[in-house]
């Protein structure tokens, strides 16, 4: 940064026109930032739903990359959204690479816009009214109107920036002749490619570099040959944005950034190696479409499109190999169950990815919790999930599982829960749509219930192990019953998870909820009976009642968490499920009625 500031200071001192060019670049970049902010406000589902649907095949992914980059005029924004989606597990690596390839073609429309429209029309005449209308929209409370305001302001600033760059170069050429620095031959190619790459790294926008190149070329300040090299360099420099974006992403995001780098470097290499034939091809195309021979700005736009398209054509047949290479080059980190798998800074920028990543992380927490709950009760998931007789399997599972539940809780549950709470808090500070935030808070509560269930089992573990390790009469049966009931709930939730999402409903769990309340009520009567018959010592009975309280709390929390987690994703269906589901108060009356029926049956 100090170097950049020094260069700017020296430039400002040396020339007023340099100030205008630098201000033009600054206004242009500011416009791009506003454009990005504007599109982010639209990403309340629309952009993400589109991305999700438009990546079903490679041609679709590429088409999506071309289209979105053309509309947004920022391949960097498209790359960052793609990395975010890839990190959240919403799209495949192949689809991600397809989008990046498409974005490289889409970004060439920017050069056409500047060369074909920006230089030939007085675009500042459009810029100022656009900015005036934009500011009215930006102050609206509706987020989509605000988004439209930012997009319009962004375009206005882009136009204004181009205007100042053009004006600056026009005046600059009267004082200085930059063509004195023109280099021909191989040296010129290499030097200007590096300059183009460096300029793009500094400005973080190949679009801005291309605009600068085209305006300088139109003012005759750089040679056509050097402009071609600068354009090639800009393509290499632009990969830096994706690399920065991938730093906070998971390994998939990093793979995509590497793919972007490889693609752009290979494309640049091809363009440099075949610069002569490419120039001829550009001349032929330009003549074919009626571009005058001396209109180097438009010819540069043709060159930009040709070499990016050529890059895609060369890389497409190598796509599968590229994917294999990426998968080998960046190996997924060895799974650490104590660390969040899906939550990262890369996913919390966009509502859809934030929600999906959180949902997956909550599932990750649940899977860890199930291991702890099962082992805490000296059960093995494999056995309880495959048996046809859960009670018998639980009775037979007597050997204590040797592990430190407190330590495992800290490592695999508490850390994940902390990450989930931190993530939801962070997401809450962003401008997320209300419905997304509602879902985010529901998922945070689901995580809370899962954690409470594990804590309850922690309390239960000591006596559950002590009284079930070997048969000790009635007390062993009582603890086995608690273990069986918890195991049944884990099995029910697993069945719900494995079912086809189109067929499953949290209503499936209602009978289990009734059962839990019925069993909880039966427990007291049963204990009293056992004490009366002197089959249970009063102090043991007190401990058991205490433990059964923890066990039923764990069951209620697990069922409550699953009911909220597996609610239908479509709002109207979720409403139906909510209306039809049993409320907690209803469970009590249902159980009372059932018990009443039983008593009636007994007395009859």
Partner 1 sequence: MGLESTIEKLDKYFDRLEQGKAQKIEPEHVDEVIRKLEARAQQLEAELADTHKDAKKERVWQKIELVHKQKDRALWLKEKLCEAP
Per CB under 8 A, residues contacting partner 1 are 389, 391, 503-505, 507-508, 510-511, 514-515, 570-573, 575-580, 582-583, 585-586, 589-590
- Closest separation between CB of residue 391 and partner 1, Å? 8
Residues in the chain: 604
- Closest separation between CB of residue 484 and partner 1, Å? 11
CB closer to partner 1, 365 vs 520: 520
Residue 74 in 3-state DSSP? coil
Q: Report residue 268 as tokens.
A: 């640049």
- Closest separation between CB of residue 468 and partner 1, Å? 19
Query: 221 and 178 in contact (C-beta within 8 Å)?
Result: yes
CB closer to partner 1, 71 vs 392: 392
Cα–Cα dist 279/277, whole Å: 5
CB closer to partner 1, 345 vs 577: 577
Cα–Cα dist 124/488, whole Å: 71
Q: Report residue 532 as tokens.
A: 């009366």
- Closest separation between CB of residue 529 and partner 1, Å? 19
Could you say which DSSP state residue 334 is in?
P
- Closest separation between CB of residue 577 and partner 1, Å? 6
Cα–Cα dist 338/315, whole Å: 39
Could you say which DSSP state residue 318 is in?
G
**Rg of the chain on CA atoms, in Å:** 32
- Closest separation between CB of residue 494 and partner 1, Å? 14
CB closer to partner 1, 458 vs 483: 483
Q: Report residue 177 as tokens.
A: 């002749």
Cα–Cα dist 484/476, whole Å: 12
Nearest by Cα to 566 from 521, 503, 474: 503
CB closer to partner 1, 248 vs 387: 387
Which residue has 């620095």 as its token pair? 181
Residue 380 in 3-state DSSP? coil
Nearest by Cα to 98 from 319, 324, 326, 325: 319
Residues 6+ apart with CB under 8 A from 357: 87, 88, 89, 342, 343, 344, 347, 348
CB closer to partner 1, 336 vs 525: 525
Give residue 89's region: left, alpha or beta (phi > 0; psi -120 to 50). left
CB closer to partner 1, 364 vs 488: 488
Q: At what angle do helices 351-376 and 415-428 cross, to 10 degrees?
A: 160
- Closest separation between CB of residue 332 and partner 1, Å? 36
Cα–Cα dist 113/55, whole Å: 27
Query: 244 and 261 in contact (C-beta within 8 Å)?
Result: no
CB closer to partner 1, 206 vs 505: 505
CB closer to partner 1, 122 vs 386: 386
Query: 355 and 403 in contact (C-beta within 8 Å)?
Result: no
CB closer to partner 1, 23 vs 514: 514
CB closer to partner 1, 246 vs 587: 587
- Closest separation between CB of residue 485 and partner 1, Å? 11
CB closer to partner 1, 538 vs 580: 580
- Closest separation between CB of residue 579 and partner 1, Å? 5
Helix, strand, coil shares of the chain, percent, nearest 5, are: 80, 0, 20
Q: Report residue 221 as tokens.
A: 């300040």
Cα–Cα dist 35/42, whole Å: 11
Question: Where do the H-state alpha helices sit in 204-318?
Answer: 206-218, 224-237, 239-247, 251-273, 275-288, 296-315
Could you say which DSSP state residue 401 is in?
P
- Closest separation between CB of residue 526 and partner 1, Å? 15
CB closer to partner 1, 26 vs 391: 391
Nearest by Cα to 341 from 267, 402, 252: 252
Segment (H or E) for 382: helix 381-386
CB closer to partner 1, 131 vs 496: 496
- Closest separation between CB of residue 508 and partner 1, Å? 6
Nearest by Cα to 312 from 99, 141, 528, 21: 99
Q: At what angle do helices 474-498 and 510-532 cross, to 10 degrees?
A: 180
- Closest separation between CB of residue 511 and partner 1, Å? 4
Give the CB-side neighbour count of residue 603, counting CA atoms within 13 A.
6
CB closer to partner 1, 398 vs 578: 578
CB atoms within 10 A of CB 224: 17
Segment (H or E) for 172: helix 143-175
- Closest separation between CB of residue 583 and partner 1, Å? 5
Which residue has 């709930």 as its token pair? 489
- Closest separation between CB of residue 570 and partner 1, Å? 8
- Closest separation between CB of residue 383 and partner 1, Å? 17
């Amino acid at each position: 940064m100090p170097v950049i500031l020094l260069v700017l200071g020296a430039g400002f001192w040396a020339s007023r026109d340099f100030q205008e060019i630098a201000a033009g670049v600054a206004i242009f970049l500011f416009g791009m930032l506003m454009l990005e902010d504007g599109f982010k406000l639209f990403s309340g589902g629309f952009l993400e739903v589109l991305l999700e649907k438009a990546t079903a095949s490679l041609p679709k992914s590429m088409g999506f990359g071309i289209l979105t980059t053309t509309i947004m005029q920022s391949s960097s924004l498209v790359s960052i959204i793609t990395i975010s989606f890839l990190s959240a597990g919403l799209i495949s690596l192949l689809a991600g690479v397809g989008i990046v390839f498409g974005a490289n073609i889409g970004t060439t429309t920017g050069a056409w816009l500047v060369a074909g429209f920006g230089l030939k029309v007085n675009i500042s005449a459009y810029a100022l009214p656009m900015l005036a209308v934009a500011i009215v929209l930006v102050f609206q409370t509706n987020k989509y109107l605000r988004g439209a305001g930012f997009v319009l302001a962004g375009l206005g600033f882009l136009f204004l920036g181009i205007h100042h760059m053009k004006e600056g170069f026009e005046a600059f050429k009267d004082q200085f002749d930059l063509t004195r620095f023109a280099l021909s031959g191989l040296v010129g190619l290499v030097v200007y490619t590096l300059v183009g790459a460096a300029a793009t790294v500094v400005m973080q926008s190949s679009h801005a570099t291309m605009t600068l190149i085209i305006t300088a070329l139109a003012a005759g300040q750089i040679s056509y040959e050097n402009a071609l090299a600068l354009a090639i360099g800009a393509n290499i420099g632009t990969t830096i944005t994706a690399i920065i974006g991938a730093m906070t992403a998971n390994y998939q995001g990093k793979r995509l950034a590497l793919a972007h780098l490889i693609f752009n470097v290979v494309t640049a290499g091809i363009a440099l190696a075949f610069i002569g034939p490419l120039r001829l091809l550009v001349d032929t195309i330009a003549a074919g479409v009626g571009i005058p021979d001396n209109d180097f700005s438009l010819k540069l736009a043709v060159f930009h499109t040709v070499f990016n398209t050529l890059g895609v054509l060369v890389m497409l047949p190598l796509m599968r190999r590229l994917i294999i290479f990426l998968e080998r080059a960046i190996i997924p980190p060895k799974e650490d169950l104590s660390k969040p798998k899906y939550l990262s800074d890369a996913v919390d920028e966009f509502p859809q990815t934030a929600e999906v990543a959180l949902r997956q992380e909550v599932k990750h927490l649940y899977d860890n919790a199930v291991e702890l709950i099962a082992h805490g009760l000296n059960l093995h998931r494999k056995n309880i999930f495959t048996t046809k007789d859960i009670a018998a399997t639980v009775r037979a599972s007597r050997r204590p599982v040797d592990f430190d539940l407190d330590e495992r809780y800290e490592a695999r549950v508490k850390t994940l829960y902390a990450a989930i709470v931190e993530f939801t808090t962070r997401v809450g500070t962003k401008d997320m749509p209300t419905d997304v935030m509602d879902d985010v808070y529901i998922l945070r509560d689901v995580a809370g219930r899962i954690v409470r269930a594990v804590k309850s089992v922690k309390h239960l573990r000591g006596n559950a192990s002590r009284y079930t390790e070997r048969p000790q009469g009635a007390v062993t049966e009582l603890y086995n019953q608690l273990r069986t009931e918890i195991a049944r709930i884990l099995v029910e939730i697993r069945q719900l998870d494995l079912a086809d999402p189109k067929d499953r409903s949290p209503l499936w769990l209602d009978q289990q909820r009734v059962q839990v309340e019925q069993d909880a009520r039966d427990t007291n009567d049963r204990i009293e009976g056992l004490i009366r018959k002197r089959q249970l010592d009063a102090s043991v009975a007190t401990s058991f009642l205490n433990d059964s309280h923890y066990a039923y709390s764990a069951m209620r929390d697990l069922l409550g968490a699953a009911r909220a987690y597996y609610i239908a994703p479509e709002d109207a269906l979720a409403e139906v499920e909510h209306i039809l589901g049993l409320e907690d108060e209803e469970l009590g009356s249902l159980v009372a009625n059932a018990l009443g029926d039983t008593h009636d049956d007994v007395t009859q």
